[in-house]
Amino acid sequence: MKKRQIAWIILYFAIVGGLLVIIGSWTYRVDPFFHFHKPKTDSYFYPLNNQRSQNDGIVRNFEYDGLITGTSMAENFKTSEAEKFFGGNFIKVPYSGGSYKEINDNLKVALSHNNNLNKIIRGLDMGKFFDKKDYMREDLGTYPLYLYDDNIFNDVQYIFNRDVIFSRVYPMIKENVEESFTGGITTFDTYSNWMDSCPFGRIELYPDGVTVKESAAKMEITEEEKTLF
């Protein structure tokens, strides 16, 4: 093999290796799914919008002593209200359409990683009482199982993930350099909360108020009608 070809191969592997190290280290640093560490809210803004990918990291790496979980029936619960009533610091980790098994698995992770956890608010959907104990919603999508285990080798699917890099890590880094940038995270009150899309209440139904008309004369049943009844 000629020297030039050897140099080409070495350079090729050096560039590939270099690019992978840069990309991997950025994903590790930003960590939009909280898989490696708690969020760096001083440096980035973390949108919470993927329950199956983010809930596991939330229960592993956040600081809390109360937890709200359940299906979509628990999505509108507000951690601020739970904190007001029960005190402490709550997180919310709901699973849209999730099964009891899925919620249980997440709770087990929470209890094993957080000794301070002492309050759990959990929605109990009656419709799921008779599901099989290991039933999972395979029909909704593919679970990112590489995020749920402690195997560091399959994390390659997260560190070198096209969607994570281009749709999450890059925009978060880009935001960070803007002058108006303020770091943070989506509040747990608004995380997965769909209440805004369902208007309700008296004002929504009758914005102009309800007009009550008194009938002119009261009608009473006659003696004949009483007998008939």
- List of residues contacting other proteins (CB under 8 A): 4-5, 7-8, 11-12, 15-16, 19-20, 23, 50-53, 71-72, 96-97, 137, 139-144, 156-158, 160-168, 170-171, 174
Q: 127 vs 209, which CB is nearer to other proteins?
A: 127
Q: Which is nearer to other proteins, 88 or 143 (CB)?
A: 143
Residue number with CB closer to other proteins (141 or 209):
141
Residue 29 neighbours by CB distance under 10 Å: 14
| Residue 173, C-beta contacts closer than 8 angstroms, at least 6 positions apart | 26, 30, 44
- Residue 100, classed as helix, strand or coil, is helix
Least Å distance, CB 171 to other proteins, is 6
Report, in Å, the least distance between residue 181 CB and other proteins.
15
Task: Please report how close the Cβ of residue 109 comes to other proteins at its closest, in angstroms.
Answer: 17
Q: Dmax of the chain from CA atoms?
A: 118
Nearer to other proteins, 162 or 218 (CB): 162
- Nearest CA to 27 out of 153, 160, 184 is that of 160
Report the C-alpha gap between 182 and 179 in whole angstroms: 9
Let me know: does 184 contact 41? Beta carbons within 8 Å: yes
Shortest separation between residue 202's beta carbon and other proteins, angstroms = 28
Which residues face 67 on adjacent strands?
Answer: 91, 120
Query: What is the smallest separation between the CB atom of 185 and other proteins, expressed in angstroms?
Result: 18
Beta carbon of residue 35, minimum distance to other proteins (angstroms, whole number): 13
> Is the Cβ of residue 24 or residue 183 nearer to other proteins in the bound state?
24
- One-letter amino acid at 95 equals Y
DSSP readout, 142-178?
A: ---HHHHS--SGGGHHHHT-HHIIIIIIHHHHHHHTS
Whether 204 and 71 have beta carbons less than 8 Å apart is answered as no
Query: Which C-beta is closer to other proteins: that of 45 or that of 170?
Result: 170
